[in-house]
């Protein structure tokens, strides 16, 4: 099969658990691009922390960021599409986090805002190439053009949060993007929806799309793509949604798939 679009999740899929792009994976992705496939990084990360991954790959592709809430041309930095959160809809989610002391950030297409920043979180942001902007929420409110709220807490705390929020009626969607991460974003935003929109823009049928991911926020793109692959470090529900399961991100799972399917 000639795959014209290859959608790759970043954390837990493209890069290993040390947050590094492994040489075999880089070579395989570049080889796929040289064969004519459009490489699309499709991630829960923001745009600013995703574009450096394209640079590490030596490519100028499209990035789908913020779990599909934003689509950006990696070469021109033009925002092709974005889904913005209504300020009034998100306030109760933020109030819940403030009451419990959970760290969260507020993301626009290119910027990330926080209300507080300790050394631990500063190190997390530095690792993903982000410089947070401190903001006084009471004085300034929600940043204009906010696409996603990301909450960082212990797994047990987010498990409890999910149970609490299951009782709510939601005008926004909540997406578990990792054991320690919960995202709040518009109902119209998902990796699958964004990938479908990009495919229509490019005139590419879903049968010619390959997607590889590892977590619950990847299920939409895995099921939309003509062939969806979960890496071995995925939760069972993600594996069940995929067409196949490959080896883990620490074992060059992306490269194993691309080398086999693209030759």
Both 33 and 18 in one domain: the answer is: yes
CA dist 243 and 122 (Å) reads 38
Instruction: Provide the pLDDT confidence category of residue 138 given band limits of 50, 70 and 90.
Output: low
What is the tens place of the pLDDT at every residue in 95-116? 999 999 999 999 999 999 999 9
pTM metric for this prediction: 0.88
Domain limit, last residue, from 150, 185, 220: 185
Instruction: Provide the pLDDT confidence category of residue 139 given band limits of 50, 70 and 90.
Output: low
Is pLDDT of 180 > 60?
yes
Both 171 and 49 in one domain: the answer is: no
Mean pLDDT of the chain: 94
Both 115 and 175 in one domain: the answer is: yes
Any idea what the CATH number is for the domain that residue 96 is in?
3.30.1240.10
- Structurally, the chain folds into a number of domains equal to 2
- Tell me which residue range forms the domain holding 167: 87-185
Both 103 and 74 in one domain: the answer is: no
Both 129 and 166 in one domain: the answer is: yes
Domain limit, last residue, from 155, 185, 215: 185
Both 235 and 199 in one domain: the answer is: yes
Mean predicted confidence (pLDDT) in 47-67: 93
Domain limit, last residue, from 170, 185, 200: 185
């Amino acid at each position: 099969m000639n795959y014209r679009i290859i959608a790759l999740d970043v954390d837990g899929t493209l890069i290993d658990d040390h947050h590094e792009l492994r040489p075999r994976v880089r070579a395989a992705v570049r080889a796929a691009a040289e064969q004519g496939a459009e490489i699309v990084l499709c991630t829960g990360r923001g745009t600013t922390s995703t574009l450096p991954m394209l640079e590490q790959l030596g490519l100028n592709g499209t990035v789908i960021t913020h779990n599909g809430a934003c689509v950006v041309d990696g070469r021109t930095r033009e925002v092709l599409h974005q889904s913005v959160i209504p300020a009034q809809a998100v306030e109760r989610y933020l109030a819940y986090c403030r009451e419990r002391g959970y760290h969260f950030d507020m993301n626009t297409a290119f910027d990330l805002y926080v209300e507080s920043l300790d050394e631990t979180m500063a190190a997390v942001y530095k690792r993903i190439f982000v410089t947070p902007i401190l903001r006084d929420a009471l004085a300034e409110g929600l940043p204009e053009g906010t696409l996603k709220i990301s909450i960082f807490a212990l797994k047990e705390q987010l498990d409890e949060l999910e149970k609490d929020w299951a009782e709510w009626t939601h005008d926004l969607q909540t997406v578990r993007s990792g054991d320690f991460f919960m995202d709040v974003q518009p109902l119209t935003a998902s990796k699958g929806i964004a990938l479908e929109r990009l495919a229509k823009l490019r005139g590419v049928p879903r049968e010619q799309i390959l997607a590889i991911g590892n977590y619950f926020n990847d299920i939409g793109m895995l099921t939309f793509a003509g062939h969806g692959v979960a890496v071995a470090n995925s939760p069972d529900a993600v594996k069940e949604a995929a067409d196949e399961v490959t080896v883990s991100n620490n074992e060059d799972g992306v490269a194993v798939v691309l080398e086999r399917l693209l030759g």
